[in-house]
Structure 1
C-alpha cells in the first residue's frame, strides 16, 4: 500500500513537472517570437563605412576590398579570406601594410559581411565563390591567406585547382573541423540553434547591443584591438542587415567547414603556417601538426598574441607573414 502511494505521489510530481516544463517552453517560444516581431518593427541599422566594391563570384554578389601595391614589385597578389563571423574589416588594419609591394584583396565569404546571403553554406559552395572571385578579378595565381575557418576555403581551392594559386598561408586555423583520436568524425552544428525561434532571438539580442560583441572581440583580440563604439559597430553592422541573423544561425546549424587530415596531405602547392601563442583555438601542437600534414617548414609564431592578432597587432602580424609570403612566391615567374 505504501509503495503504491509513493509511486502515485512520484507520478503526480512527474506529471506536474512535465506540465511546468511544457508551459516554460511555450513561454520561451512565445517570448522569442514576440521579440523577433518587435525587432522587425524597430530594427537597428548602422551607417558604417563600406569601402570596396562588388563582383559576381560564381553567381554570388561578393563584397571586395582592394589595397593597390604602393611599390609594385612583381610579387603575386594576395587574396585574404576571413573566418567564421568575420568580414573584410578583420583585415582592414594589416592589409595596407601587406600592400607595400603587392596588390591585396579581401572579400566577404557568402553569408557574412556585405556579401549576399546565398546558401548552401558549405565548403564546396565557399570554394566555388573563391574560384569565381579569382576569375572575376582576373588574378594570376595569387597567394591565398586564410584566417581561422577561412583556411579551409583557401586549402580547398588549392586542392581543387592547384594551378589557380601560387600558395596558401594557414593563419590561426588548421583547415579541418574534425574531432576524435583519428580526426575522421565531423563536428556537428550547434544543437541549440535547431530550435526556432529561440536561436534567432538570442543572436538578434546579442548583435543589437555593443556590450556582448565588445566582450567577445576584446577576449579574442587582446589589448591592441579597437573596441570603441565605431569599431564594434563595424562588427555588428552586417548581422543587422536583413537576413544577417538568419544566415548566421543557418551557418551555425551546419557542421563546421573543413578538409580531412588525409585531404590536407594531398595539397601540392607551397604552404605556410602562422599561429598565435595565446590562441586557444589553434595551439602550437595543432600548428605543428598542420605543418606536418602540409609538408612545410615555413612556420611562424606570434608570441603572446591571440586569435585576432591580424586586427589587434597588425604590425607584428604583417612582420611575421611577409617572410612566409616571400618564401612561398617571391616573384611572378
Structure 2
C-alpha cells in the first residue's frame, strides 16, 4: 500500500510538472479592458483606477481596497456610484491584479503599500473602504496612523484572520495539502484557464445579480494568467492569513462603518455585531438577500449602504 501511494504521489507530481511545462509553451493571455494607471507605492509598482466626482463637493475621497484574490474589477460597478459626490480610487494590492508581484506578503507590507498610495496620490485623509480581507489593510493603516484617514468602512469582512476560538494571537496557517509545487500551481493554472470553475465560484459568492457572462468571467481570469501570477497566489496562500487581533481592533479609534450581507457565510450578522463592538461603532448596514460579493451583485444597494454607515465627520 505504501508503494502504491508513493507511486500515485510521483505520478501526480510528474503530471503537474508536465502540465505546467505545456502551459509555459502554450500560455493563454486575455485581451480585456484595463483602465487606470500605475504608480510607485512604497516601492511597489501599483495599478490604480480613478473615478472623478460627478458633482465635486469637497468631501474626502474614497480609497477602495480589494480582498483576497480580488482586483480593482470588483469595484467596477460600485465605484462609479460612490463617485457621485467625491473622487474615488481603487488599487490592486501587491500580488494581485495588475500590481507587481513582489513580497513580502504580510499585513505590514500591505499597509505600507496603502500608505504609499495615499502619499503618491496626495490624498488627504480619505475614507478607506476595505472589502473582505482588504478590511484588515484598511484597519491596519487606521491603527498605525489614525491621522492619515478620516475613517474606515469594513465591507464583508471583520479585519481579523479568522483564526478560531483564540482570537488574541496571530493568524494561523490554512490547509497545506495542495500547496506543494508543482501540484498547487498546476491545479490553480488549470482552474484559471477555464471559465467554468471561475464562473461557479463567482456565482456562488455573488448571487443572481452578478455578471457572469464570458467577458465578465475573463475580467476575473485575466490577471491570474499573467506571468508569475499563479506562483504569487500560491506564495500568498502559504503565509498566515493577514489580519488584526481582537485586542488590536479594540485600539482602533477612527470612525468605522460596517456593511454586511445576510447571505455571506464568512461575515454574517453575528460577526458584524461582534466586529462593531470591537470597533466601537453602531454604524452597521445589512444587505438582506445579498452575498459576499454584493459590491458586484447589487452595486446600487452596496453603494447606498456604504454611504449610510459613513459617519457625518466623514
Q: TM-score range by the shorter chain?
A: over 0.9
Partner of 1:170: 154
Matches within 5 A, 1:140-289: 140-185=124-169, 186-289=171-274
Rate the CA distance shift 1:60–1:193 in 2: closer, same or farther, 3 A.
farther
How far 1:181 moved relative to its partner?
A: 2.5
Partner of 1:135: 119
Rate the CA distance shift 1:193–1:21 in 2: closer, same or farther, 3 A.
closer
Deviations 1:172-203 (A, max 9, x none): 00000142323135221331243111000000
Deviations 1:112-149 (A, max 9, x none): 00000011111000000000000000001000000000
* Partner Cα separation in structure 1 for residue 199 and residue 23 of structure 2: 21
The range that moved more, 172-181 or 58-67, is: 172-181
Partner of 2:22: 38
Deviations 1:7-47 (A, max 9, x none): xxxxxxxxxx1111111111111000000000000000000
Matches within 5 A, 1:46-125: 46-125=30-109
* Partner Cα separation in structure 2 for residue 328 and residue 77 of structure 1: 14
Large movers: runs of 4+ above 4 Å: none
1:270–1:328 Cα contact (<8 Å) kept: no
Q: Which has the larger radius of gyration?
A: 1
* Partner Cα separation in structure 2 for residue 169 and residue 45 of structure 1: 35
How far 1:328 moved relative to its partner?
A: 4.7
Partner of 1:316: 301
* Partner Cα separation in structure 2 for residue 267 and residue 328 of structure 1: 18
* Partner Cα separation in structure 2 for residue 124 and residue 181 of structure 1: 24
1:178–1:184 Cα contact (<8 Å) kept: no
Deviations 1:244-267 (A, max 9, x none): 100111111111100000000001
* Partner Cα separation in structure 2 for residue 190 and residue 111 of structure 1: 20
* Partner Cα separation in structure 2 for residue 315 and residue 131 of structure 1: 29
Q: What stretches of structure 2 of length at least 5 have no aligned partner? A: none
* Partner Cα separation in structure 2 for residue 65 and residue 179 of structure 1: 32
Rate the CA distance shift 1:174–1:328 in 2: closer, same or farther, 3 A.
farther
* Partner Cα separation in structure 2 for residue 314 and residue 245 of structure 1: 29
Match of 2:282 among 287, 291, 297: 297
2:168–2:247 Cα contact (<8 Å) kept: no
1:77–1:103 Cα contact (<8 Å) kept: yes
Query: What is the root-mean-square deviation in Å for CA atoms of aligned residues?
Result: 0.9
* Partner Cα separation in structure 1 for residue 180 and residue 104 of structure 2: 20
1:67–1:104 Cα contact (<8 Å) kept: yes
* Partner Cα separation in structure 1 for residue 202 and residue 60 of structure 2: 32
TM-score normalised per structure 1:
0.93
1:225–1:312 Cα contact (<8 Å) kept: yes
1:145–1:170 Cα contact (<8 Å) kept: yes
